[in-house]
């Protein structure tokens, strides 16, 4: 399955930790036979390449269209405008949405999660790893 990975990047203080966590999640998903697309990894070389907002939007939409599903990694209680857009666009074109939500932030994202086809609650990366291995 081809998975578009959605995540909050803007205004995240510890981007290196986010990068490590996202790479770990994608590795688990890829080891299970999936292919993944991460915007900052695949289109921006983890911030080493500047890409305009307009080009980012095109890249996001194109990759959601060619993906089988959206996999959202939600670990922030601050709503992401990007994830909201990705969820709504994905829902409009009939994509399955799988949301992995850290337990401590679930209530803040309640309305957004109504769009998800499946929700995986997790408490830390080890817990998420165990749950991803089971669903993959």
Domain locations along the chain = 2-135
Cα dihedral across residues 8, 122, 134, 88: positive or negative: negative
At residue 52, the 3 state secondary structure works out as coil
pLDDT for the residue 134: 67
Query: Which of 60, 120, 66, 55 is closest to 86 using CA atoms?
Result: 60
CA distance 66 to 69: 9
DSSP state of 20: H
Note the CATH number of domain 2-135: 3.40.50.450
Res. 135 pLDDT band, cuts 50 70 90 = low
What are the residues facing 108 on neighbouring strands?
none
The pLDDT tens digits of the residues spanning 32-83 come to 999 999 998 898 777 777 777 788 899 999 999 999 999 999 988 888 889 9
């Amino acid at each position: 399955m081809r998975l578009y990975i959605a995540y909050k990047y803007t205004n995240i203080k510890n981007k290196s930790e986010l990068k490590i966590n996202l790479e770990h999640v994608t590795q688990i998903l890829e080891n299970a036979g999936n292919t993944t697309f991460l915007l900052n990894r695949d289109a921006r070389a983890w911030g080493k390449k500047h890409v305009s907002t307009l080009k980012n939007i095109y890249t996001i939409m194109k990759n959601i269209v060619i993906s089988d599903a959206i996999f959202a990694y939600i670990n922030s209680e601050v709503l992401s405008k990007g994830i909201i857009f990705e969820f709504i666009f994905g829902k409009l074109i009939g994509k399955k949405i799988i949301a992995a939500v850290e337990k401590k932030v679930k209530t803040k994202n309640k309305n957004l999660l109504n769009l998800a086809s499946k929700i995986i609650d997790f408490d830390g990366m080890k817990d998420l790893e165990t749950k991803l291995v089971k669903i993959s």
